[in-house]
């Protein structure tokens, strides 16, 4: 069930990216842009939620590179966020922004490590 929820949310984010790229964002989602830095807050929340759901769906799976280790779910979210931000170079109505990318990665970091701090590494999601 966790994998289905994570996949569904990932597909929702793909839809959001499509709507933004094509200029067809639904009115409800446009409300996020109605207040200052709403877009950046959206990056923190959406990418954080994606990482949380992926980490929950893939517990204990980690990607290790040398001494550095990252949960696979967080890695997927980081790569997806970077690719989505980079893809904006190819759409005339989009503007890639490093601050948006950093906000997404901040959400991923918080969502990945907060459960470990709260429950401890042995009971956390990753």
Q: What is the pLDDT of residues 21-38, one digit of tens each?
A: 998 989 988 887 788 888
Residue at token pair 């994570």: 6
Low-confidence ranges of the chain (pLDDT < 70): 116-126
Residue 114 has what pLDDT?
83
Cβ–Cβ < 8 Å for 85, 101: yes
Residue 34 has what pLDDT?
82
Residue 104 has what pLDDT?
96
| Residue 89 DSSP symbol | G
pTM of the model: 0.86
Q: For residue 52, give the nearest of 1, 119, 125, 104 by alpha carbon.
A: 125
Crossing angle (nearest 10°) for helices 38-57 and 2-22? 150
Residue 119 has what pLDDT?
58
Please, which residues have CB within 8 angstroms of residue 18's CB and are 6 or more apart in sequence?
24
């Amino acid at each position: 069930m966790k994998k289905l929820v994570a996949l569904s949310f990932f597909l929702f984010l793909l839809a959001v990216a499509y709507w933004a790229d094509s200029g067809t964002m639904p009115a409800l989602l446009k409300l996020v842009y109605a207040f200052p830095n709403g877009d950046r807050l959206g990056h923190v929340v959406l990418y954080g939620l994606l990482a949380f759901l992926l980490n929950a769906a893939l517990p204990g799976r980690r990607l290790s590179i040398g001494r550095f280790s990252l949960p696979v779910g967080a890695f997927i979210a980081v790569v997806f966020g970077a690719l989505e931000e980079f893809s904006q170079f190819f759409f005339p109505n989009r503007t890639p922004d490093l601050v948006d990318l950093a906000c997404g990665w901040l959400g991923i970091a918080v969502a990945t490590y907060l459960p470990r701090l709260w429950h401890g590494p042995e009971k956390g999601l990753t």
